[in-house]
């Protein structure tokens, strides 16, 4: 847990550093003096002045700031009952509205550039992909309720080979089409018994995640790929390569059927397995947590393939394309938040994001350095783009809110009144603080669920 948190803090710190660096560079180019540049909040544990700028590392290493000279002069002007904010050379409000707009925009823009460069690097060195087949299992067979897939006429054993005319060959490609489109009609092309059948389906909104779902799992043969040390599976003598033939006396055609049996919380799980042409009976002794979850310690065989390294120009095009795809999907996901999503589960705060970054990094590096780098780079790119979008929202105190404020000043050619800036910032601070409290509460519930 501690290693995951440390990796998460490092990863999140990188994304925030890039964002604040964008503000820093733009401010210096605009003639705005930067008084302090900090990674992390709270009392500095490191501080050094260089070329007139105090560089800091805060005691709480998530977040950060670029403090520009005169940023809070509106408070002093308000205290003095001034009708305008002082415009001293080198100060934030001393710069023209256009320069302030560019400085505010530079942080989110830096996050986009970071995402493009990191994803370009991933495509330049190549990476391994772990996914599942495009053969499906109806979730209704596992969960006992009807989903859009059932209503559309999909069947267990079908292969989804195209969505809206775009060929798909695995789980990842299918989810890329379904998850961002709750409520949207999709045209599937399905292969069944050697025939190709067109099927129309409309994904429903999963209120816990904000993603679209049609109610399918993906077929995996019940062949064991890994056995976790110290798990019930290892203690029962299960090994890599074993094929589970039956569970509790019932045939196991695909691996996800195992979890249907586990829903009944059996204390003893009786398996019949095939190993090198011989059959054995095994018993797993199971225990469950407060949420009724158990970990038997098995992973089943998945599909792995290698995405080959691209030339630098090709990698850059791929990186830009993937970043744009992530950007558009994130915008769609933001809109879904207002359609009945369970915000306590769908909205992640700093604690949960840190845990997720660390979890992905730890799992990836556990396989290999290359896998760890690819996993963490891809996820940091997603967070970086999400940070860009969040900061460009027209909310007071965020970059987007400041851009609107300065744009109004630019159009009207009238200086901002200190009272207007003060209340604008106060409303934004109140909103952000409320959102932070809400998201951290959700994060705490998330972490309790991980115990």
Grouping H, G, I as helix, E, B as strand and the rest as coil, residue 230 is coil
* Cα torsion 326, 332, 335, 339: sign: negative
| Chain-centroid distance, C-alpha 360 | 10
Q: Is residue 117 exposed (0-12), middle (13-18) or buried (19+ Cβ within 10 Å)? A: middle
Grouping H, G, I as helix, E, B as strand and the rest as coil, residue 118 is helix
Number of H helices, E strands in the chain: 14, 18
Q: Any bridge partners for residue 57, and if so which?
A: 39, 46
Q: Is residue 145 exposed (0-12), middle (13-18) or buried (19+ Cβ within 10 Å)? A: exposed
380: its two tokens: 């940091």
Q: Tokens 């998330």, residue?
A: 446
20 is catalytic: yes
Reported as type and span, the H/E element at residue 269 is: strand 268-275
The active-site residue out of 20, 73, 322, 409 is: 20
For 202-216, give one letter per residue: b (16+ CB within 10 A) or e: ebbbbbebbbbbbbb
Active site residues: 20
């Amino acid at each position: 847990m501690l290693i995951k948190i440390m990796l998460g803090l490092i990863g999140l710190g990188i994304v925030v550093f890039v964002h604040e660096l964008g503000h820093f560079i733009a401010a210096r180019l605009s003639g705005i003096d930067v008084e302090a540049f900090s990674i992390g909040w709270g009392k500095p544990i490191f501080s050094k002045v260089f070329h007139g700028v105090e560089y800091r590392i805060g005691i709480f290493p998530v977040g950060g700031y670029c403090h520009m000279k005169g940023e809070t002069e509106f408070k002093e002007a308000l205290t003095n009952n001034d009708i305008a904010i002082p415009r001293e050379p080198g100060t934030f409000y001393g710069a023209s509205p256009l320069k302030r707009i560019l400085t505010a925009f530079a942080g989110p823009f830096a996050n986009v550039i970071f995402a493009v460069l990191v994803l370009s690097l991933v495509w330049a060195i190549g990476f391994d992909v772990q996914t599942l087949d495009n053969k499906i299992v109806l979730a209704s067979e596992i969960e006992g309720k009807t989903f859009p897939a059932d209503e559309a006429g999909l069947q267990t054993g079908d292969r989804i080979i195209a969505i809206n005319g775009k060929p798909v060959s695995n789980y990842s490609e299918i989810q890329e089409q379904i998850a961002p489109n709750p409520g949207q009609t999709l045209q599937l092309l399905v292969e069944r018994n050697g025939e190709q059948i067109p099927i129309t389906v409309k994904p429903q909104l999963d209120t816990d995640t904000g993603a679209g779902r049609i109610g399918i799992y993906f077929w995996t043969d019940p062949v064991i790929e890994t056995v976790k040390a110290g798990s019930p599976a290892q203690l029962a003598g299960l090994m890599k390569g074993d094929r589970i033939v039956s569970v509790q006396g019932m045939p196991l055609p695909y691996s996800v059927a195992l979890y249907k049996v586990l829903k009944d919380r059996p204390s003893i799980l009786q398996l019949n397995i095939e190993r090198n042409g011989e059959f054995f009976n095994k018993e797993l002794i199971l225990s469950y947590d407060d949420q009724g979850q158990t970990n038997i310690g098995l992973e089943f065989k998945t599909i792995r393939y290698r995405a080959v390294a691209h030339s630098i120009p090709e990698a850059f095009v791929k990186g830009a394309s993937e970043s744009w795809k992530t950007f558009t999907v994130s915008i769609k996901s933001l809109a879904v938040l207002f359609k009945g999503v369970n915000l306590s589960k769908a909205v992640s705060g700093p604690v949960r994001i840190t845990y997720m970054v660390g979890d992905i990094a730890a799992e990836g590096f556990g396989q290999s350095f290359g896998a760890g780098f690819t996993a963490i780079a891809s996820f940091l790119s997603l967070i970086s783009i999400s940070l860009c979008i969040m900061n460009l929202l027209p909310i007071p105190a965020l970059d987007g809110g400041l851009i609107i404020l300065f744009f109004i000043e630019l159009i009207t050619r009238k200086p901002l009144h200190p009272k207007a800036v003060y209340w604008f910032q106060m409303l934004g601070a109140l909103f952000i603080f409320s959102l932070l409290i809400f998201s951290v509460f959700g994060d705490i519930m998330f972490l309790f669920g991980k115990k």
